[in-house]
């Protein structure tokens, strides 16, 4: 996946992604984070701009890392899934 700025859909979906209480991120298959929503800052205390351009594994507790990696490997491109993950805050 080419590293470029993610442009979110205008209107309802953009508002939903940015303002939901669920932590939403957009990454490539290796865990490189392109975008996180406001819930990341609230939940982890990291500024949003600090989360983007990092690797997801910098924030995931080792307890949850293998679970996440297994789900990532099994997912098809463009597919979404839900996980309960322990983060480092």
CB 52 within 8 A of CB 36: yes
CB 63 within 8 A of CB 38: no
pLDDT average per 10 residues of sequence, the chain (89 residues): 53 78 83 86 81 85 88 82 84
pLDDT at 61 (0 to 100): 92
Grouping H, G, I as helix, E, B as strand and the rest as coil, residue 33 is strand
What residues are paired with 25 via a beta bridge? 36
Q: What is the rounded end-to-end Cα distance, in angstroms, of the chain?
A: 28
Is 37 exposed, middle or buried, given 0-12, 13-18 or 19+ CB atoms closer than 10 A?
Answer: buried
């Amino acid at each position: 996946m080419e590293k470029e700025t993610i442009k979110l859909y205008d209107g309802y979906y953009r508002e939903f992604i940015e303002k939901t209480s669920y932590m939403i991120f957009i990454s490539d298959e290796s865990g490189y984070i392109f975008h996180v929503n406001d819930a990341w800052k609230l939940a982890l205390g990291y500024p949003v701009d600090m989360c983007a351009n990092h690797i997801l594994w910098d924030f995931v507790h080792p307890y949850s890392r293998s679970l996440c990696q297994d789900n990532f490997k099994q997912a098809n491109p463009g597919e979404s899934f839900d996980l309960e993950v322990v983060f480092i805050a």
